[in-house]
Structure 1
């Protein structure tokens, strides 16, 4: 946020305070200014639906929980407004769980229309931004850097937008979206969640989409991870899928990550689908993803590790080059209805997919 933007916001508040605005006070959004050294949580707790909590440049040592609908938390820009963990024990459950910013609905009522923008979250042991039970969440121009598990994570949420963010050097996924993080359940319909124009680099996985339906991963730059984009399904119903991975640049995701209880080691995987159905992978540019993991390759269809097959997925119109062991890899039965059409590539496993 520029100095001009801040000045305009302050001018608007001054006009409201002077009585120029004719709307009743209850309907006038307020601006809550927070300076470095002051409590963000105190300002968030005082905010009402429609209000903006504006963080001035500086480094803030705390975790913040947003539990009111329609609240905007905005910094002065990711280069100048930074959130880091507090020394000692956190004062709220968000920090106690190792998260930087928590947007928290409940199991019975999703929290609507919260925005987090223009700041950096770094050094938290779990997630930089964690969203649970939200509806219409917007996260934009946020840098999540060197957090222990995820840069951005959400569960039980719908209609989210993650746009023009940076996730770098996080322990697991830069951006992790799931139906639930801990439970085994069927895929959740997100009603159009959008992951767009983000830069995701040097994480274990750039983007993980697990047990979800009806969303788009579009126009992102994904590089330097062990795996670029990972769409994960299993035997639960409804199945994961009915989503699109399109118009992304997925390049040189050749970092090495050791195996886990559920996955082999990861290296050199561009876009991977496991146990997904009716997913469209189209118009992506996939370059230089190289490794010897069972999941290595440019665009890879791999049966999930609980035996769930990929079915009726469409891989079309992608440009692939210098991926190894091949640009296109299909480890599924030919009877599963997965199709490969009009892709620009040189090598495939099995042969004949290019």
Structure 2
């Protein structure tokens, strides 16, 4: 499993988952060099990807397909909505790139990221690791994808920049996060917007990453709604804006899983992050009994790095337990401004 928190939250608390091709005459009219490759159910998406030229479109008809699709060039993979389903099969092409167990893996290199890949209008279900996995990508777009019941993550972006996760559903990816952005000092404005995440350990996880924007997501029914995590690697986590999200009733109970501690009953967790803005969110009914349960909760990192210079303002935070707002950050630099809440620790944050 890829590390989610890199060190246990529990430690910190103690311290304070054969293609059919359209002939050339059927090329898309959007440009003379762009081709559309039509793949029918039961045929190989990977063969279409391998034969495609940069900028081509792989169009998947409704039906079932084997996943484990490896993408290393700019192209679009487009399905017919939820009726286009990728599932684990006999051959896992992602394993050749060291990423076994992924539904679709988009993998570049540190100095040469894969650019301008779009994956949209399809389902990825039941993979051992993630539904969609991006590593060293730039401008990866994942749109209207259903990532369900994968073993670790739903939709991910590691060491990548300028991604767009829009209008997706990440459901029951129970071991880790439904939506993940991480391991990049500057994500250059990666956008996570209008998504639904439920039944995951964490709805949205931003770990060891900066410059991410997340708005108007529905993060409900997870163990933790949103988590901004500094795992004490160089660069930390910060400069992320979380606004106008519905982060409610994240009251599932998740047992400890490898380096991820038990989770439950937390709306927003800021874990050693800095210069984040949490604004105009509805954080309602997140209730638990863990030290980091509650509405909006600030804690130090595992090694005791304070959560500092964070701005929490104009949020509606009510019905959370044990408190609507919690500042155990280890710093006095965080600002709580005009939040509508009833309870806080320490007193006076509402």
TM-score, normalised with respect to structure 2: 0.89
Q: Tell me if the contact between 1:234 and 1:307 (Cα under 8 Å) persists in the aligned partners.
A: no
Aligned-residue offset at 1:240: 1.1
2:325 maps to 328
Confirm or deny that 1:194 pairs with 2:191.
yes
Instruction: Identify which of 76, 79, 84 aligns with 2:80.
Output: 76
TM-score w.r.t. the length of structure 1 is: 0.88
Aligned CA distance change for structure 1 residues 322 and 188 (closer, same or farther; 3 Å): same
Q: Where does residue 346 of structure 2 map in the other structure?
A: 350
1:241 alignment partner in structure 2:
238
Counterpart contact for 1:140–1:165, Cα < 8 Å: yes
Contact kept? 1:263, 1:305, Cα under 8 Å: no
The 8 Å contact of residues 262 and 305 in structure 1, kept in 2 or not, is answered as no
Partner of 1:164: 167
Cα shift at 1:336: 3.2
Measure, in 2, the Cα distance between the counterparts of 1:261 and 1:305: 15
Moved more, 275-284 or 228-237: 228-237
Deviation at 1:139, TM superposition (A): 0.2
Structure 2 unaligned residues grouped into runs of 5+: 1-21
Work out whether 1:41 is the aligned partner of 2:38: no
Q: 1:19 to 1:143 in 2, by over 3 A?
A: closer
* Offset at residue 131 of structure 1 (A): 0.4
For structure 1, the residue ranges without an aligned partner over 5 or more in a row are 1-12, 180-186
Name the SS for the 2:49 alignment partner. helix
Measured after TM superposition, the shift of residue 178 of structure 1 is 1.2
1:263 offset after TM fit, Å? 4.8
From the superposition, tell whether residues 353 and 96 of structure 1 become closer, same or farther in structure 2 (CA, over 3 Å): closer
Larger radius of gyration: 1
Give CA deviations for 1:23-71 in whole Å, capped at 9, x if unaligned: 7xxx4211000000111101111111221000000011232111112x0
Pairing of 1:39-188 with structure 2 (within 5 A): 39-69=44-74, 71-78=75-82, 80-87=83-90, 89-93=91-95, 97-170=100-173, 171-179=175-183, 188=185
What is the distance in 1 between the residues matched to 2:325 and 2:104?
39
- Among candidates 253, 265, 279, match of residue 256 of structure 1: 253
- 3-state secondary structure, aligned to 1:130: strand
Q: Tell me the CA shift for residue 116 of structure 1.
A: 0.2
Q: Distance in 1 between matches of 2:145 and 2:78?
A: 9
SS at match of 2:188: strand
**1:66-98 CA distance string (max 9 Å, x none):** 1112x00000112x10000014x5355269711
Assess if the C-alpha contact under 8 Å between 1:62 and 1:95 holds in 2: no
**Displacement of 1:17 after TM fit?**
1.7
In structure 1, what is the equivalent of residue 290 of structure 2? 293
Deviation, 1:332, is 2.4
